[in-house]
Structure 1
Amino acid sequence: MEIIPYQLSTTKELITPRSGLICLAELLDKIDLQTKIDEVGRVLKSNNAIKHSKYVLSYILALHAGADNLSDLSILTSDKALMKLLGYTRTPKPSAFGKWLKKNGKSLLLDELHSYLVGLSLGNCKKVTLDIDATYILSFNENALYGYIGKGYMPMIGTIAETSQIIAIDFRQGDVPPSKNNHEFIKACMYNLPKDIELSGVRIDAAGYQHEIIDWLIDKKIEFAIRAKMHNSLREQILDIDTWQDNKIKIVHAMGDSKHSFELVIQRELIDKGQMEIGICDESSQSLSCGRYMYRAIATNSNKNNDDLVKWYNQRADDSENRIKDLKLDFSANKMPCKDFKANALYINICALAYNIFQVLKACFT
């Protein structure tokens, strides 16, 4: 084996272990995100010498470098070589960043930035599928409220399946049920789509099983798949079925206050003898166990066959739930830094911007 000769020596040249961030910085410059943030920032309050874009972009870079909280902004300032490559002379201190969040806590102002980043990733795609889901964020902040899981927050997050990006966030207190204002949130997500992009599909868990949502989607001719709740009328309808040929069957159903009827794909699954139960469940249950089988249902207006419809609905587990996990675990949205509610709303949107930019970066390489 040939040994390659080499020598070790010290150097006074600046060296960084984070050279990969230069690719990200080039992308941020190419898409002119700094200008767009400052355009949004014109209506934000600021008496600081540091521009709004410097706050946002500094933390986005820090998040991509592995930051876990505001104090990790030092990742940038402690790396002199990186600061020189980025052209930064300084970055906001954690305490200043916290004050900036509190002063400018109006998260809706970032919606157009989410829309812009989604548009960059869509390319020639003109139709998109929206998944919405609530997620719990544990917090011991004194202003956080208790929900059914514990003290914290329960934001509703809308994701676009085709790009794995976040289109909107409705930051909510922990005591807000996941089913609240879903109709308004869906419309807000649709409104925030890039120009000329059509909302063609919506997938929601049982929190979205509401007649006003289903009626609106039918009126708008938007394909949907929504996990049904086992209301009394539906339970009776399921238990009356005697024409099973496989473990899926489609029936027509209507809610008491709905304008339209819709189809339900009923799934049944054989359960172990030790798990057999009588068909008793409350109005919020998503499944019904009776005898040898457990039953679940998906409300839809889709022309897909039963197998494809179930597969399409189940895909939301990756397109939505796993993407939210990425946001929380990889981009530090699993804990809120401030006592102020609106400051935390702005913070989670900045984390979402960092996540969306990462998806744009992936699209550039693929």
Structure 2
Amino acid sequence: MTQGVLPFKYEEEKTQTGMTALAGLPVYLDLAKVIGLSKSIQKHLKVRKNSQGWTDSQMVLSLVLLNLAGGDCVDDLKILEADEGFCQILRKSETHGLSRKVRRTIESRWRKEKKRSVPSPSAVFRYLSKFHDAEQEDARKKSDVKAFIPAANDFLKGFGKINKDMIAGLNTVSVETTATLDMDATLAQTMKETASYCYKGFKAYQPFNTWWFEQGIILHTEFRDGNVPAGYEQLRVFKEALDCLPSNVEKVKLRSDTAAYQHDLLRYCEKGENKRFGRIEFAIGCNVTKAFKIAVAQVPDAQWQPIYKREKGLQLKTGSEWAEVCFVPNELCYSKDAPVYRYLAKRQRLVEQQPLPGMNDDKQLKLPFPTMEMDESRYKVFGVVTNIKYTQMNGENVIHWLHERCGKSEEVHAVMKDDLAGGKMPSSDFGTNAAWWWIMIIALNLNVMMKNLALAPSMKTKRMKAIRFSLVNIPGRVVKRSRTLFLRLSKGHPSYDLLVEARRKIAMLFGSWAPSG
């Protein structure tokens, strides 16, 4: 093709050169090896047990690496396979440290010579299909329940155990005895024919996630259809999340939006019905019902206090106010042993909106949040229910503490769908997509561990886009000399010291990381 009008030409190398565009990705292989991720996968999945070809570990790790490298569909494995330098490192990592007997066992899984370094897209599709349970789809069709959650088969349940092993190891080397759990659902839009419509009017899946605030990691996730409400069976999910916490966690706190405003969940926390953790403190958004508005309207104006924010060492008014509300919901009025909670209200004065010309009252735009009239002014109103005592935390601090979840846990949802592969489902089968979602969660948590344990403190708050630019997607050349592989970066590359220091910290984890299981 003539390219004379352009300043350069493309040519393909005549031979393999050992070049890689993913010189930083092998560091994640190092971390995965140290934390025993491959062993945990082989222990808990067993999809490929006693079969030939790719192992469970090779399948799952290939997709984890695909997420970290920026791929968002199964076909992107072709690009990973085409990176000859990275594939050399991957093949070396798979057998490094193994005895000759184990290496021969791995080699015997192949009838012919193994030529690929990562599974082909077709092999991955066949593998992911094992996580789908067709009987559950039949049960869905027969069920009269609109919000139906297919039961996970034994293979799919294995991902939760793998994630539990990872978190237990993390909390061994970076101990947190308190777990503040933020529970929230997210919508993953899709065009799959079998997907259901969500409350926003488009087809989607709606996974429900439990975020461990102190560790910055996803503790538990449940893949759901888009028509399943966020608060559906939330108490059951909360109990499952508590079972995922490491043994050295001593105290649990709960935060959530109004989807968690369910009296069975509130009672479970307040009455200390969990044998391990006892009473669990919570702050949850409550429904601004007509009865709640009546209680808010009865609060004297003198009891409304300003809400402040700290900025550059100064306390500044936000324009919002809070007050304690004397409110007992109808659900608790008929029980003698009903728990007593604190109810708080937050209000913000709204600027008067002019009506749209030429439209009657029925067609005027409605505000997407509850409002009420007080003192001849219109306010946006937000309710909070908590069991935290007055002496422990005043109302303003409870509101600030609850609003902390709105920043980080919701940012993680954007990372799942935009930075990783959670926003693009590979199949029309529910179980296949659930497995894909779980593998993305493992990649997400592996990256969190990398930032917390191996990278510089300045990298801890970086999004995956920045991590890829400065750590993962950098050029290098793989050179083999004296039976050792060397991964060379260009001279003076700013990422060289970052990678060397990360590998030093990862090497120090050997011996201190708790073995899985």
The TM-score normalised by the length of structure 2 is: 0.64
Structure 1 residues not aligned, in runs of 5+: 1-9, 277-284
- Tell me if structure 2 keeps the 8 A contact 1:55–1:92: yes
What is the deviation of 1:121? 3.4
**1:4 aligned residue:** none
Which residue number corresponds to residue 6 of structure 1? Answer: none
Q: What CA distance in whole angstroms lies between the structure 1 residues aligned with 2:45 and 2:393? A: 45
- Does residue 253 of the first structure (1) align with residue 305 of the second (2)? no
How far residue 289 of structure 1 moved from its aligned partner, in angstroms, is 2.4
Shift of the alpha carbon at 1:43?
Answer: 6.4
2:446 aligns with 357
Structure 2 unmatched ranges of 5 or more: 1-12, 93-115, 133-152, 273-278, 306-320, 333-337, 356-367, 458-517
Alignment of 1:1-366 (within 5 A): 13-42=17-46, 47-87=51-91, 89-105=116-132, 106=153, 107-122=156-171, 123-149=174-200, 150-220=202-272, 221-242=279-300, 243-246=302-305, 247-258=321-332, 259-274=338-353, 287-290=370-373, 291-302=377-388, 303-364=392-453, 365=455, 366=457
Amino acid at match of 2:161: E
Are residues 43 and 218 of structure 1, via their aligned partners in 2, closer, same or farther at CA, if it must alter by over 3 Å? farther
Tell me the SS of whatever aligns to 2:254: strand
Paired residue type of 1:273? E
Distance across 1 between alignment mates of 2:228 and 2:74: 27
- The structure with higher relative contact order (CA 8 Å, sep 6+) is 2
Classify 1:116/1:275 alpha carbon distance in 2 versus 1 (closer, same or farther; 3 Å): farther
Measured at CA, do residues 355 and 208 of structure 1 come closer, stay the same or move farther in structure 2, by a change above 3 Å? same
How far did residue 264 of structure 1 move?
Answer: 1.3
Which aligned runs of 4 or more in structure 1 are off by greater than 3 angstroms?
Answer: 10-13, 43-48
- Structure 1 residues 245 and 230, CA, compared in 2 at 3 Å: closer, same or farther? closer
CA contact (8 A) 1:134 1:178 kept: yes
- Counterpart amino acid of residue 426 in structure 2: P
Q: Retained in 2: the 8 A contact 1:201–1:223?
A: yes
- Tell me: CA distance 1:245–1:340, structure 2 relative to 1, closer, same or farther (3 Å): closer
Structure 1 residue 12 displacement after superposition = 6.2
Backbone CA RMSD of aligned residues: 2.1
Contact 1:229–1:287, Cα closer than 8 Å, also in 2:
no
Residue in 2 aligned with 1:7?
none
What's the secondary structure of 2:283's corresponding residue? strand
Q: Distance in 2 between matches of 1:48 and 1:265?
A: 61
Shift of 1:44: 6.8
Change (3 A) 1:253 1:191: farther
Which amino acid in the other structure matches residue 37 of structure 2? L
Measured in 1, the distance between the counterparts of 2:326 and 2:157 equals 39
Gap change, CA 1:59 and 1:12, over 3 Å in 2? closer
Question: Equivalents in 1 of 2:49, 2:425: separation in Å?
Answer: 21
Which residue of 2 is the match for residue 280 of structure 1? none
Q: Which has the larger radius of gyration?
A: 2
Residue 292 of structure 1 aligns to which amino acid in structure 2?
A: R
TM-superposed deviation, 1:232: 2.5
Counterpart of 2:502 in structure 1 is none
Is the contact made by 1:190 and 1:199 (CA closer than 8 Å) also made in structure 2? Answer: no
Q: Is the 8 A contact 1:137 1:154 kept in 2?
A: yes
Identical aligned residues as a percent: 26
- SS in structure 1 of the partner of residue 247 of structure 2: coil
Q: Deviations over 1:29-82 (max 9, x none)?
A: 111110110001236777442111111001111111111211111232101111
Number of residue pairs aligned between Structure 1 and Structure 2: 349
* Cα distance per residue 1:107-158 (max 9 Å; x no partner): 3321122222223333121111111111111112121112222112111111
